[in-house]
A and B are shown apart, each in its own frame.
Chain A
Amino acid sequence: MSCGKAESIRHGHGTRWAAASALAAAAVHPPTVLAVQVHGAPEGLYVHQMAHVLFAAALLFLLYILHYRPIGSGTAWRFFKLSILFFLAWNIDAFVVHWLALGLSEEYFVGGPLLAQRLAGPIDAERLVYYLGRFDHLLCLPAMYFLIRSLDLFSREALDRRREGKAQGP
């Protein structure tokens, strides 16, 4: 073995040693490794909010389709559109409430036990919107109701069609 070649081998062994040392350091202190993404606390909320946006976008898209390229017409379809509208409203409401909730810390909820809790004053527009927005079931329950009604009517129409022996539905 020549003297130069032995030098080269020694240099290769040094590189491998440095990489192994970096991995060990990353395992011991993860935040110090920039190559691995960190999912911190606000990410869950952001994902949830983005899901709301996606949900709302899908509903808007569906409304657009049903309006400009209707698949069918009649009461059932009107109920279905109402259901979508209520779900859309609920989405917006939930998105806003989630957003406003970010600005409200634990000290805004006062009064002791859960059932005696109050939203601490002074009640400004932001808190009032938050407070009213918390009644989101008043939007999602009608949405479900109208969905059920539309499904009932769709079933009836499908039965009528079957009885009359007409072609299949939409």
Chain B
Amino acid sequence: MTSGLPLLPVYLVDFFGSSLMILLAILAAVRARRLTLLDPESVLWSYLFWLSMALVAFALSRSIGHILRFILILAGFPQVWRLLAPYSGGFNSLTFVAVAVLTFYFYNVHGVLERIRQDARKISSAHAQLEAAHGDLRKLNQTLEERVEARTKELAISEEKFRRLFEGSKDMIFFSDSTARVSDINDGGLDLLGYEDRGAVVGVPLPTLFAEEESWSRFYCELNATGHVKDFEAEFLRRDGSRLYLMMTATAIFDENRRLKACQAIAKDMTRFREVTAQLIRSEYMASIGQLAAGVAHEINTPLGIILGYTQLLKEDFEGQHEVFETLAIVEKQARVCKRIVADLLKFSRHSVEGAMGPADINGCLEEVLAVVEHTLNMDHISVERHFAQGLPSIVVDKERLRQVFMNMINNAHHAIGSEGTVGLWTRLDAHCRTVEIVIADSGSGIPPEVIGRIFDPFFTTKGVDKGTGLGLSVSFGIIKDHGGQIDAYSPPRDPALVAAGMRTAFVITLPVEGGEQAAGDL
């Protein structure tokens, strides 16, 4: 290749290549511009745009230089080209530097932006986590609120339920504090104790409510020792001084040192139950006594009849012998006394009404008895107060035997008073129980508590010798029992109105109303 190489191909490629470079550089710049418009915040697109712009400048400076070279040389102005060539080359150099600077700068900016973007992503992630946590917290809060609301509602319902139980209970419910003073008590408790104002009971020492100090001591010791007391029987003092028989169940509340901090107790009024139980026991007792009396009376009655018969025969035989006759008369008299006692015993023990049963006006019966005894009572300055209810229904009774009962009662009242006093008679209808209640009360000395349980026993009497056989109340008890009724003695009377009237003892006779539709007006 000594002849050399033609430069025409080189010039042709140079000429057309330069032209194409301009065109392609412009196309690239246009596309890069479009890209930056699509996403103006992208650093890469921005870099590519400015890179393209630098390449456009490069292509223009270089290619125009190359094209001008051919034109100027071919046109015969090579000196002009020589003048322009350094500018073209210099500008080229500048564009290279520009591209390099842009590239290095892009990387740094990209790095910074990438870090910012990472930070932003972290912040965004943290924000998302925070949002999630906030959501969870809100949900938790909402759940908590719902739970609190539900719990509050449950508590309100529970509180209302227990409040109703506390306030509506007819049993006594009370609380005491660490000093054993009543801290709260329900209305039922106030009623049982006879108070109207809660303030009168709250703050009162609990031992003072107990009727017996020994009972309080047992209650407190057991409560302190075991933490609870179950079915503890105690008597409380009512406001009026009467006693309230209670069955208590209590629970102690201790502090961390196991010191009694408070006590809560429920007490059931067993007074009536105890009375009924006592009556039942007495009824059974009286029934067995009656059977015994009947047996004894029956066995004694026959030999007594023989003794009386033979005594009468002997009296006829010894009519002339005054001394013997008098002795036989005494025997006959005492035998008759025995006969009467035996007859009373039989009356007491008899379980069937033998007399004529018929409708009777109770008030009328009482008046008939009073007509007989009132004069005697007045002789001893004993007044009779009548409190008869009007419109009482008729009761089917043995009037004769009922009058005997009333007579016994009034005579007992007379004996209890002695002289100067009041005998009160009350009748009333208990429509709910369909019974008529007859109360015979007196302002006498009253019946001692240790005696009152035995007054219906046969032969029990507090009267002196020869003043009573001790069968009056027993016989009365038997008669009322035969009529399906009941007779109770109270000293002092249970009814405050009777107490207010000055009565010390009251016998309450309760008779069932049979054919209650018949009013007294029908009689």
Contact = CB atoms under 8 A, between A and B. Distances in A.
Interface of A: 44-45, 47-48, 50-52, 54-55, 57-59, 61-62, 65, 71, 109-111, 113-123, 127-128, 131, 134-138, 140-141, 144-145, 147-148, 151-152, 154-155, 158-159, 162, 168-170
15 contacts: A51-B92, A51-B94, A58-B102, A111-B4, A114-B11, A117-B8, A131-B5, A138-B17, A144-B59, A147-B55, A155-B35, A158-B39, A158-B45, A162-B39, A170-B43
B3 interface: yes
B14 interface: yes
Contact of A118 (B6, B48, B93): B6
Contact of B20 (A50, A52, A55, A141): A141
Nearest to B102: A58
A71 B97 contact: no
A71 B44 contact: yes
A115 B11 contact: yes
A120 B103 CA distance: 41
Interface stretch (B25-33, B279-287, B464-472, B475-483): B25-33
User: What are the 7 tightest A-B residue pairs by CB atom distance, in nearest-first order?
Assistant: A137-B17, A58-B100, A144-B24, A51-B96, A151-B31, A123-B1, A51-B93
Contacts of B14: 134, 137
> Which bracket fits the contact residues of B?
35 or more
B40 to A, nearest CB: 10
A99 B38 CA distance: 43
B10 interface: yes
Nearest to B62: A140
Interface string B225-246: 0000000000000000000000
Contacts, number: 154
B500 interface: no
Given A44-B86, A115-B74, 13 more contacts: A48-B89, A65-B107, A71-B44, A71-B110, A109-B7, A113-B74, A117-B8, A119-B4, A121-B1, A137-B21, A148-B28, A151-B52, A155-B34
B60 to A, nearest CB: 13
B475 to A, nearest CB: 114
Contacts of B18: 137
B38 A159 contact: yes
B5 A119 contact: yes
Interface string B52-85: 1001000100000000001001100000000000
A154 B90 CA distance: 33
Interface of B: 1-11, 13-14, 16-18, 20-21, 24-25, 27-28, 31-32, 34-35, 38-39, 41-45, 48, 52, 55, 59, 70, 73-74, 86, 89-90, 92-94, 96-97, 99-104, 107, 110
The A interface is mostly helix, strand or loop, or mixed, namely: helix
A141 B24 contact: yes
B28 A169 contact: no
Nearest to A80: B48
A4 B39 CA distance: 81
Nearest to B40: A168
Nearest to A57: B100
B140 to A, nearest CB: 32
A59 B74 CA distance: 36
A158 B42 CA distance: 10
Nearest to A110: B4
Contacts of B42: 158, 168-170
Contacts of B99: 55, 58
Nearest to B6: A118
Nearest to A52: B96
Contact of A158 (B35, B43, B104): B35
Name the residue in A45, A71, A110, A170 with the highest tally of chain B Cβ atoms < 10 Å from its Cβ.
A170
B29 to A, nearest CB: 9
A158 B96 contact: no
Nearest to B43: A170
B96 A55 contact: yes
A5 B162 CA distance: 122
A119 B7 contact: yes
B28 A147 contact: yes
A50 B97 CA distance: 9
B92 A162 contact: no
Contacts of A140: 17, 21
Nearest to B27: A148
A133 to B, nearest CB: 10
A170 B44 contact: yes
B38 A61 contact: no
B90 A44 contact: yes
A79 B5 CA distance: 35
Contacts of A122: 1-2
A146 to B, nearest CB: 10
A155 B39 CA distance: 10
A120 B55 CA distance: 34
Contacts of A123: 1-2, 4-5
Contacts of A155: 31, 34-35, 38
A1 B425 CA distance: 164
Contact of A115 (B8, B28, B41): B8
B55 A144 contact: yes
Nearest to B1: A123
A108 B103 CA distance: 39
Contacts of B107: 61-62, 65
Nearest to B59: A144
Contact of B13 (A116, A127, A137): A137
Given A168-B39, A169-B42, A118 B4 contact: yes
A48 B39 contact: no
Contacts of A47: 90, 93
B38 A145 contact: no
Which of B5, B92, B110 has most chain A Cβ within 10 Å?
B5
Contacts of A159: 38
Given A114-B74, A121-B1, A137-B21, A151 B35 contact: yes
A14 to B, nearest CB: 45
Contacts of B41: 168
A151 B28 CA distance: 7
A131 B11 CA distance: 11
B517 to A, nearest CB: 97
Nearest to B73: A114
